Amino acid sequence: MSETNDLIIFDDVSKFYGEVLGVNRISLSIPPGITTLVGPNGSGKTTLMNLMTGLVQPSSGHISVMGLTPGDVAEFFRNVGYCTQFDFFPRGLNGWEFIFDSLMLHGMDEVDAFGLTTEALQRVRLGDAAGRKIAGYSKGMRQKIRLAQAIAHRPRVLVLDEPLNGLDPMARAESIALFEELGRQGMHLLISSHILDEVDRISDRVVLITGGYLVAQGNIQQVRQEVRDKPMQVLIRCDRPELLASRMFAVDHCVEARVHADGKGVFLRTGDVDQFYSMLNGIAAEGLVKIDAVAPADDDANAIYQYLIGSDGSAS
Amino acid sequence: MNQTTSSFRKRVMQQPWDLWWIQALRLTRIEVKRNLFSWRASWIYFLAFIPTLIILIHVAVGRRLQLSMDDDTEILAGIIQFYYIRLGIFFGCLGIFSRLIRGEMIERSLHFYFLSPVRREVILLAKFAAGSISALLLFGSAILADFILTYTVFGATGHDYIFNGPGLGQLEAYLMITVLACLGYGAVFLLLSLIFKNPTPAAMIVMGWEAINPIAPSLLQKISVASYLRHLMPVNVPAEGIFALLTVQTEAESVWTATLGLLVLIVLVLVYSCYRIRTFEIRYTTE
């Protein structure tokens, strides 16, 4: 398999809904693993996913998913599963029929479809409710049955639009564990979510978009590197946080200091990481403060999102 | 030239026809079930069987009256020509076929089909087949019931009219008209639902066009479902006033020409619908 056949590629893709911008000149190259799509409401996340799966056509540019395009329907949708955020279903079906019917449309025989339906329902822990009408499901169950339908045919690429919406904490944890497992199996997972803290832990990389524009992409550390001019927050666990804060706050690059709620550490925000660590080493060597641990406190998607996009959704 | 033909034939033969056939069959089965076994279809059942109910009452009352078989034969022909073709099948097909694509857009469930490994043309044709089967089952069985009820009341004479007279031929013609009407209106309404978010106003224009079509120039008469069906009616309905407009035959055509003409019209509409659905976008937010 060539390298290109392992990638999801957006090549200068734009989408306009009449005069309204969906996404503008997006170029992306996404390798296997778990990729989180981050952006505020209306930023173009769903448009990007719909473009990728052919539900909408690009106004310009080209998209290929592992060398396939949505025009090649049979091959494409055997390899791609899309769990949309549309909370609607064909009328009158129960959970089992919903998945079984969709598998039968792949052209497989009933025995195979039966086996895969059972497997998918077990993976999302919905086996007991399979015989009930979907119309009677809770929001969380509907989310799960959509996920089951998207993974039932064992795709190589799984696109998940807000997959954690409506799930209770237990179901969220189960879903995230499932995503991790699928990612470990070498599957492409493209996830959009507002619950960044949870997907952040399992993401290999993030793609940040706002207002239809790509803001940044890469693994979280790489993206963090792109914003090195932004102050970075570090948590230092130590025995004398006030003293450490006063020493560090005396230098120019340290712009904020906040003692941890438990009184056993301090959050320091610095604009020059290299200088910061050099000074911290000096203080540690002096022996005035006993430092137990040092860790970046904002090296996650949420913090980067705040830096790059801002809480109001406008890119900085 | 030969090389081009041979390469085209090779390409056609290489297509996964078996898979498309299986997918179309399965999709059709799912859709027929949804079309027929739903509370939302109840008004179409009503449209199909309301004449049957009226004929049943007529038969029950008629046992005490002197009924004329000639009169009842004309009444049945009138019901089929004026009610079923112009109203019942027209609005029934509007309900069934405009729901197939547009209805699923409104219910926001069309994406499940568009995300399956089924060509959109196969989806469209399977949905058309399902709509046609549903409409035919409803209106075909209603017309069959109307026919049986109409002649049952005459006992042995009615039996003789059906099996030794023109009865079976007329029934055959009525059923053929029903098939063509369902396919014709079905194709038109399926296309309208692909073009318009609300196909009903456009359907009303089609209805008006069908009504004034007999007085349109000869070429324009070809673009009509009802104009072809008029030539297939086995019994002439004596009509007066406004009804005369619906029965007039300005261009004489053989049964075969009329049937073939309508089938060509249906194929053309479906080919254009297949072209439209290839670029059809899922944009629920704008619905």
Identify which has the larger pLDDT, B66 or A179. Answer: A179
pLDDT along chain B (287 residues), means of 10: 80 86 92 88 93 89 74 90 91 93 86 92 96 96 95 88 92 94 94 91 91 79 80 78 60 76 92 92 66
Provide the terminal-to-terminal Cα distance of chain B, rounded to the nearest Å.
48
Angle between helices B255-278 and B167-195 (to 10 degrees): 20
Q: Which of A88, A89, A105 sits opposite B26 (nearest CB)?
A: A105
Out of A57, A77, A88, the one facing B116 most closely (by C-beta) is: A77
The answer on pLDDT for A293 being more than 70 is yes
The tens digit of pLDDT for each residue in A230-247 reads: 677 888 888 889 888 888
Contacts of A92 in chain B (CB under 8 A): 34, 37-38
Contacts of B120 in chain A (CB under 8 A): 73
Note the pLDDT of residue B287: 41
- In tens, the pLDDT along A6-56 reads 899 999 999 998 878 889 889 999 998 999 888 877 888 999 999 999 999
Domains of chain A by range and CATH?
A: 4-218 (3.40.50.300), 228-308 (3.30.70)
Task: Kindly state the tokens that stand for A229.
Answer: 């001019």
What's the predicted TM-score (pTM) here? 0.80
Instruction: Name the 3-class secondary structure at A287.
Output: coil
What pLDDT is attached to residue A226? 66
What pLDDT, on a 0 to 100 scale, did the predictor assign at position A4?
Answer: 63
Q: Note the pLDDT of residue A5.
A: 79
> What span, in angstroms and rounded, lies between the C-alpha atoms of A111 and A114?
5
B266 compared with A224, residue with greater pLDDT = B266
> In Å, how far is A55's CA from the nearest CA of chain B?
5
A224 pLDDT tier (thresholds 50, 70, 90): low
- The contacts of residue A259 (CB under 8 Å, 6+ apart) are A241, A242, A245, A265, A266, A267
Q: Which pLDDT score, from 0 to 100, does residue A185 have? A: 85
Burial class (CB in 10 A: 0-12, 13-18, 19+), A109: exposed
pLDDT at A251 over 80: no
CA atoms within 13 A on the CB side of A242: 2
CB A163 within 8 A of CB A193: yes
Q: φ and ψ at B221, to 5 degrees?
A: -65, -20
> Can you give the pLDDT at residue A1?
47
Confidence of residue A148 (pLDDT cuts 50, 70, 90): very high
Half-sphere exposure (Cβ direction) of B244: Cα atoms closer than 13 Å: 2
- Does the pLDDT at position A118 exceed 80? yes
Sheet with A20-30: list strands edge to edge: A20-30, A8-17, A60-65
> Is residue A310 predicted with pLDDT exceeding 70?
no
pLDDT over 90 (residue A92) = no
CA distance A146 to chain B (A): 10
